[in-house]
Structure 1
Amino acid sequence: MNAAKRREIFTRFRNGNPHPTTELVYRTPFELLVAVVLSAQATDKGVNLATARLFPVANTPQAILALGLDGLKEYINTIGLYNSKGKHLIETCRILVEQHGGEVPASREALEMLPGVGRKTANVILNTAFGQPTIAVDTHIFRVANRIGLAPGKTVLEVEKKLLKVIEPQFRHDAHHWLILHGRYVCKARKPMCGECLIRDLCEYKDKTDK
C-alpha cells in the first residue's frame, strides 16, 4: 500500500469521526487503567457495567486497597478471569501507592512493571490518558492492518512497529481508535461489511463482500 492510499484512508476516518476515543467509560488515568486491565478477554460493555458499580465506591488505588481482594471481587465477578484480574489490580494499587504516590505513571517502563499490564495496555494508557502517539495493537487492529494491506505483519509487535512507521504524524494519535472501531463494527472477523465500508476502494483485501 502506498503513502497516498494510507493518507486517504486516515483522512476519511478523521472526516467521519474527528475525535475518536475508547468505548471504556473513565474519568481519570487510574479509572482507565482499571478498566483496561478488566477488559482483557471481556467486552467493553461488560467492563463498563462493572466499573459503573465499582468507581462510585472505589476509584483510587487507596480506596481499592481498602476494599481488599474479596471486596473488589464483589464488583468485578461478572467479568471473565475476575479472580486473576482482582489479584493483579490489588497488587497494582499497592505498587502505585508505594512507588508512585498513588498516581498512574506516564512511562511505558513503569506501566509495564504493573501486574496485568503488558505492552498493549501500556499503549492504551499512554495514548488515551496521556496523549502520547502510541498504537495499541489488539485483535481488531492486527486483523485490519493485515487484511487491508495497511501494515502486514506476523506478530502484534511487528504490526505495531510498521503502523508507527507508515502512519503520518498528523494521524498517529487517533489511529488506533479509528482502526479498532473499524475492525469492531465494519471490518469484522468473519463477515466484513465491505458494502458499508468508507475505504472500500482503497482497501487491498482480495475477497471483498457485497454486503
Structure 2
Amino acid sequence: MKNMKKKNKLILASSSITRIEILKKLGLQFSSVSPDIDETQLIKESPKNLALRLAKEKNLVVAKNHPDALIIGSDQVAVCCGLVLNKPLTIEKAIEQLLWQRGKKTEFFTALALSKEAGKVLKVSYVKSTVEFLNENHISDDVISNYVAKALPLNCAGSAKFEGVGVSLIKKINCEDPNALLGLPVIKLCKFLNEWGISLISLAK
C-alpha cells in the first residue's frame, strides 16, 4: 500500500487558482508547484502548438524534481480573428480585449500534459472550445468596464472568467469539456490516467 500511495502522488504544475479549484472539487489529493518558464510565442507558432508546448514545458520543469509523482501541466491560449489574446495583466488591457471580442468568436486551446517517471513517460493533448460573444447591442462599454472591475480577469486568456459573471458576456459556447474552457481538460485527464491503469477515484482523498 505504501508503494501504491507513493506512485500515485499527484502534483499540479501550476499556481492557477482556477485549476487548483477544479482539482479540489474533484476531491483529489494533490500539491501544486508553480513552474518558471518563458511563455513567449515562437515565430510562426500556432496557438494550438503554443498551448501544447507550454503545457509540456510546465510539466517537465516540475517533473524533473519529482520523479515519483504524476505531474499535471496545462496551458490555455485564446485567439480571436487570428490575434492571440494573452493574459491582460492590467484592467485597461482586459477592457481592450473584451471590446475587441464583442460579436466575434474566440477559440480557446486548452492543453494538457500528464507525465510520470520524471517526465520519461508523457501524454499530451488539447481541447478546442469556441466562444461566441454577444455584440455591442447587448454588451455596452460600461458593462464591460463594470465586469472587469468586479471580476478582475487579469490572469485569464481572453480576459473572461467563465466560471463567474463572465458567462453573461457570452452568446454561445461549443465545448466538449466545460472544465477545459475553465483551464483544465478533466475528461482528457481521466482518459490518460485510465490508459495507465489509474482511476481518478484512486487519487481522491
TM-score where L is the length of structure 1: 0.33
Q: Which fold has the larger relative contact order, with Cα–Cα distance below 8 Å and residues 6 or more apart in sequence? A: 2
Bigger share in helix: 1
